[in-house]
Structure 1
């Protein structure tokens, strides 16, 4: 019996270390691309046993250490007293609860997402005819149009989550919080990162197209 408990504990420790490593590497990659300035952004991984590893509040995601990742339950409560996840962790938990097969959630603050979401009066950004659209779930051709919903920024995260919940099933490429940043997820970290990079590439393309437009030049 004791040997079985040791074996289970060792397996759990190994899974936790893997999740922490994935989060650290994702933070470094996002930082290299300028998507997590200062202490912005947050990153999480759901383990097979249901535990959630998430970045601690207030840390720079490009310089994470294992101590910068904490364990929470599905409601966002830390398992160790004194640990403090970001208030936005509730948005991660919402995604995990709604999509049982989600294994990783990424939140970044890029220039393109911030500027485009603040400039438009629409409730979504629409991305069409890009080859990279095929990185998103259910997309098999460039000849398509994908909506990325935009939600007003709100410091009341529970209220923001209620707004997001109405549209989760329709989200193929994640969503944007206005003047804030994007949320993207996937069944594992590699897929989530690919989708984040795909979305950020497309948003950067849209920003460049806006800069080239006569109306922009005349502002």
Structure 2
């Protein structure tokens, strides 16, 4: 039996639940992070300055694929353009999650000159869609952070085109963007990558003098 496709209302509920869970884990401190879900040419996204620990469906803004507001109150985040780039470049993506964790911040700073964080040999890599074995290397690309978001969006577009198999992108000393064909898949990718960042971070930093 083919699983029933969740409605947009169900996906929005799941997005809010996921955002609150991320807040509870300390992954979106203060008012950081942003979350969105897509239905066709509409995107439902968190506005700027919102506490993710209390996120409810009524808080979301509706925008189009160009980032223009369609409905809702509040102001779009400066990072809205990064969501629209991901949706345009990853046409099957239906949800995007962006978090600021200790481990993705540390690793994105450590590996920024390399251009990616390599993750290899871990069983939890199989939590990423299309990965069937621990004997896989996931290269999570890193983009230099900047407050010039038009420039950042262009760089993100280029990185996505150059890394077709990546399940996420890091902004250096900033945070992780990951996505999925549903909120559930995006959350699975988020939890798998954040677990692996912590394992790899503990391994690397524990060996430093």
TM-score (norm 1): 0.86
1:193 to 180, 187, 201: 187
1:129·1:145 contact (CA, 8 Å) conserved in 2? yes
Q: Could you give the per-residue CA deviations for residues 115-139 of structure 1, whole angstroms, max 9, x where no partner exists?
A: 1111233111100000111122321
Alignment correspondent of 1:158: 150
Alignment correspondent of 1:210: 204
Distance in 1 separating the partners of 2:24 and 2:114: 30
2:60·2:72 contact (CA, 8 Å) conserved in 1? no
- Gapped runs of 5+ residues in structure 1? 1-13
Is 2:88 aligned against 1:88?
no
Secondary structure of 1:166's counterpart equals helix
Distance in 1 separating the partners of 2:62 and 2:137: 38
Alignment correspondent of 2:17: 25
2:57 to 66, 74, 97: 66
Secondary structure of 1:79's counterpart equals strand
Is 2:43 aligned against 1:52?
yes
Deviates more, 1:157-166 or 1:104-113: 157-166
- How much has 1:212 moved relative to structure 2? 2.0
Q: Which runs of 4+ in 1 moved over 4 A?
A: none
Alignment correspondent of 1:8: none
Q: Identify, as 1 or 2, the structure richer in helix.
A: 1
Distance in 2 separating the partners of 1:174 and 1:103: 14
Instruction: Please report the RMSD computed on the Cα atoms of aligned residues, expressed in angstroms.
Output: 1.7
- How much has 1:17 moved relative to structure 2? 3.4
1:185·1:195 contact (CA, 8 Å) conserved in 2? yes
- How much has 1:97 moved relative to structure 2? 1.1
- How much has 1:26 moved relative to structure 2? 1.0
1:137·1:172 contact (CA, 8 Å) conserved in 2? no
Alignment correspondent of 1:37: 29
2:119 to 104, 127, 139: 127
TM-score (norm 2): 0.90
Distance in 1 separating the partners of 2:131 and 2:159: 18
2:37·2:43 contact (CA, 8 Å) conserved in 1? yes
Distance in 2 separating the partners of 1:208 and 1:24: 30
Count the aligned residue pairs. Answer: 201
1:184 to 178, 188, 195: 178
Alignment correspondent of 1:145: 137
- Gapped runs of 5+ residues in structure 2? 1-5
Distance in 2 separating the partners of 1:204 and 1:27: 20
Secondary structure of 1:138's counterpart equals coil
